[in-house]
């Protein structure tokens, strides 16, 4: 049967890209209504359905839009809802972006557990994989295989001397809370300046993302980046991870990519019965695959 939240809960925090202070309230929702976002800060309170057909941008996060409204960085919330079997939820938000929190789905999961989940009267519909499906583009691939439940494995390779090739595996959504939820988003120091030039990561810091220093830079360039991010100057003497909090998992970046792909594929609009194998996934490719599945009615 379909499920929704037993009661509403609210999370607040900084937006990774906008830097705004944002409040999002997750509310129970009626049967067959799906996951929807409502921009309560806009006059008409426009609603956006969390479907791949509404994806409009994918640079460093998944963005959906409808009726002149946008919501970005939705993937962590979508993954948490999918992992806990929540089919119907209304998310009221007062900004064009979800709060990044610590860069993972951990705090969303904790709030879901506290709020509780209840069964509804309508039967759940699945995207059931009945035969092998393969999608490839520019070195990235996603393969779907028949399986009784949802499982996933993700392979990443960033050609980095610090972030070596990694594998993450999820054998059951019941393991999501302990194995995947706390994996944080990540960024390379060499990417920060271009991202800022694209008006992104204005809310990024060493508490909401893993920061990887894998190519030496002049200290003056590092100082300039710190000024742009409004953080205290950092003296970079050794390559490595720059975070105050150590890695939660040795393969935390790969686990975060697995978290992302769960959230992006949730935009199919139905939970998946099948095994997903992804190599070098990213939001653009993930959501294109989800959109392809929707457009070709492959979920029937």
Residues catalogued as catalytic: 283
| Distance separating alpha carbons of residues 204 and 198, to the nearest angstrom | 14
The β-bridge partners of 114 are none
- The size of the chain, in residues, is 300
| Distance separating alpha carbons of residues 10 and 27, to the nearest angstrom | 9
- DSSP, collapsed to helix, strand or coil, labels residue 265 as helix
| Distance separating alpha carbons of residues 201 and 193, to the nearest angstrom | 10
Nearest residue to 107 via CA among 208, 20, 245 = 208
| Distance separating alpha carbons of residues 78 and 262, to the nearest angstrom | 8
C-alpha dist (Å) from residue 287 to 64, 72, 190: 11, 13, 26
- DSSP, collapsed to helix, strand or coil, labels residue 197 as helix
């Amino acid at each position: 049967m379909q499920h929704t939240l037993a009661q509403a809960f609210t999370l607040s925090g900084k937006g990774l890209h906008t830097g705004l202070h944002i409040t999002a309230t997750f509310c129970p929702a009626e049967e067959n209504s799906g996951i929807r976002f409502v921009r309560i800060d806009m006059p008409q309170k426009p609603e956006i359905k969390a479907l791949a057909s509404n994806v409009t941008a994918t640079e460093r996060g998944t963005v959906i839009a409808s009726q002149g409204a946008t919501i970005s960085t939705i993937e962590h919330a979508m993954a948490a809802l999918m992992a806990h079997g929540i089919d119907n939820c209304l998310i009221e938000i007062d900004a064009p972006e979800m709060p990044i929190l610590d860069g993972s789905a951990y705090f969303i999961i904790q709030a879901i557990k506290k709020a509780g989940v209840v069964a509804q009267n309508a039967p759940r519909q699945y995207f059931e994989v009945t035969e092998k499906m393969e999608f490839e583009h520019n070195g990235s691939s996603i393969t779907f295989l028949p399986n009784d439940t949802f499982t996933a494995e993700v392979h990443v390779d960033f050609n980095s001397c610090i972030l070596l090739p990694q594998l993450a595996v999820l054998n059951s959504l019941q393991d999501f809370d302990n194995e995947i939820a706390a994996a944080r988003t990540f960024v390379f120091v060499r990417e920060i300046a271009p991202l800022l030039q694209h008006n992104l990561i204005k809310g990024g810091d060493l508490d909401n993302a893993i920061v990887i220093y894998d190519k030496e830079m002049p200290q003056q360039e590092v100082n300039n980046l710190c000024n742009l991010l409004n953080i205290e100057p950092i003296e970079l003497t050794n390559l490595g991870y720059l975070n105050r909090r150590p890695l939660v998992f040795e393969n935390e970046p790969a686990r975060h990519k697995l978290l992302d792909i769960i959230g992006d594929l949730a935009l199919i609009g139905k939970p998946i019965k099948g095994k997903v194998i992804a190599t070098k996934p990213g939001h653009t490719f993930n959501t294109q695959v989800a959109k392809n599945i929707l457009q070709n009615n492959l979920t029937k």
